[in-house]
């Protein structure tokens, strides 16, 4: 039997998305074409985990650990490198710039001033917001430049519909488009036709569910949706012995350009950039960690260089 077309499978097998995909598709296309016409490279970053409902009137769902830090930090370094960025991220996951203060309790930072002769004022205790002056400068520069488009997903179905729309939006950009797929996407789902409508009752005893495999989007992305783009996937493992082999297997299967391989315990300090011909280890030393250097800065420096070489290579062919 012929393999189902992944785009049809997304539309037929998954619950309807809970986000306005058509509006997002129009916004992504206008953004991508606008920046492309100004000779700017565009990167689509996916970031955060996905939520997989176990009931259609959802009380319970399957989720994962991803905080979105990798994607949010990477977005800042891509913006610094001059890219226009579509930031396709999980609702309430970490966001560029504000990510640094995600754990801040604002009620402890803000101070209420009650001058006797005027209206109450709110001031911030600057010492509790490290680096805030630089962050505000970078943030307002980025906003003025119009180079960041933010699109949110929540469920796995939202993510898949939006990724398809993003790929279509970027397909006319050829090799100047980059896909940087840092999201941790569920491998399992319950098809729309099989999902229970109401809350699963605990009185029915232990729960047994059979979930189907989510189609890997890398395959149609590279083959059909944006075949000229520069595509980077990520590979997360917990066992370092199998990491590089799994990254190489992904490259051989999907035939894209780069896998960034990371291990759960060390993902903030070490990654390996794996291509068809080489493996480049990137690390943060203790000294660098103390001075606030982030691994994403090194990843983006490496990848933007490779993107240039890729564009030059495709132009020469």
Which residues contact ligand PMT (rule: CB under 6 A)?
46, 66-70, 181-185, 187, 214, 216-218, 233-236, 262, 267
Q: How far apart are CA 214 and CA 237, in angstroms?
A: 18
User: DSSP label at 201?
Assistant: P
Question: Which residue lies nearer to ligand PMT by CB, 36 or 189?
Answer: 189
Question: Which residue lies nearer to ligand PMT by CB, 36 or 233?
Answer: 233
Q: How far is the CB of 199 from ligand PMT (least distance, A)?
A: 27
Instruction: Confirm if 300 and 274 have CB atoms less than 8 A apart.
Output: no
Which alpha helices (DSSP H) does the chain contain, by range?
6-13, 21-37, 69-80, 106-109, 132-145, 156-170, 218-220, 240-254, 286-290, 295-316
Question: Which residue lies nearer to ligand PMT by CB, 5 or 137?
Answer: 5
Pairing of strands 279-283, 84-90: unpaired
For 74-104, give the secondary structure using H, E and C.
HHHHHHHCCCEEEEEEECCCCCCCHHHHCCC
Q: How far is the CB of 177 from ligand PMT (least distance, A)?
A: 16
Query: What residues contact 75, with CB distance under 8 A and at least 6 apart?
Result: 45, 47, 85, 87, 96, 148
Q: How far is the CB of 276 from ligand PMT (least distance, A)?
A: 17
Question: Which residue lies nearer to ligand PMT by CB, 46 or 157?
Answer: 46
Question: Which residue lies nearer to ligand PMT by CB, 9 or 40?
Answer: 9
**Closest alpha carbon to 167 in 219, 225, 86:** 225
Three-state DSSP at 124 gives: strand
Which helix (H) or strand (E) element contains residue 194? none
Question: Which residue lies nearer to ligand PMT by CB, 11 or 216?
Answer: 216
Question: Which residue lies nearer to ligand PMT by CB, 36 or 271?
Answer: 271
Question: Which residue lies nearer to ligand PMT by CB, 36 or 221?
Answer: 221
Burial class (CB in 10 A: 0-12, 13-18, 19+), 210: exposed
Q: How far is the CB of 212 from ligand PMT (least distance, A)?
A: 12
Q: How far is the CB of 219 from ligand PMT (least distance, A)?
A: 8
Instruction: Confirm if 258 and 274 have CB atoms less than 8 A apart.
Output: yes
Q: How far is the CB of 236 from ligand PMT (least distance, A)?
A: 3
Q: How far is the CB of 191 from ligand PMT (least distance, A)?
A: 14
Q: How far is the CB of 114 from ligand PMT (least distance, A)?
A: 41
| CA 92 to chain CA centroid, nearest Å | 13
């Amino acid at each position: 039997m012929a393999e189902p077309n992944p785009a049809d499978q997304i539309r037929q097998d998954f619950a309807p998305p809970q986000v306005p995909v058509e509006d997002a598709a129009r916004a992504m296309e206008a953004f991508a074409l606008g920046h492309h016409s100004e000779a700017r490279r565009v990167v689509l970053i996916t970031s955060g985990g996905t939520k997989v409902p176990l009931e259609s009137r959802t009380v319970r769902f399957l989720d994962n650990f991803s905080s979105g830090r990798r994607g949010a930090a990477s977005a800042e370094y891509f913006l610094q490198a001059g890219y226009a960025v579509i930031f396709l991220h999980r609702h309430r996951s970490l966001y560029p710039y504000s990510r640094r203060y995600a754990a801040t309790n604002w009620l402890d930072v803000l101070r209420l001033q009650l001058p006797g002769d005027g209206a109450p004022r709110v001031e911030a205790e600057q010492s509790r917001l490290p680096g805030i002056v630089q962050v505000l400068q970078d943030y307002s520069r980025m906003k003025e430049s119009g180079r960041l488009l933010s699109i949110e997903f929540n469920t796995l179905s939202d993510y898949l519909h939006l990724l398809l729309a993003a790929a279509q939006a970027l397909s006319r950009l050829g090799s100047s488009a980059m896909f940087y797929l840092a999201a941790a996407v569920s491998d399992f789902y319950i098809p729309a036709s099989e999902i229970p409508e109401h809350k699963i009752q605990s009185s029915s005893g232990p729960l047994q569910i059979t979930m189907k495999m989510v189609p890997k989007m890398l395959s149609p992305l590279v083959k059909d949706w944006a075949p000229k783009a520069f595509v980077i996937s990520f590979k997360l493992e917990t066992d370092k012995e199998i990491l590089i082999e799994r990254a190489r297997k992904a490259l051989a299967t999907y035939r894209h350009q780069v896998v960034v391989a990371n291990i759960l315990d060390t993902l903030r300090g070490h990654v390996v950039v794996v291509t068809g011909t080489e493996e480049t280890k990137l690390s943060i030393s203790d000294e660098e960690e103390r001075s606030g250097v982030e691994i994403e800065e090194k990843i983006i420096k490496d990848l933007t260089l490779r993107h240039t070489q890729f564009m030059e290579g495709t132009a020469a062919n």
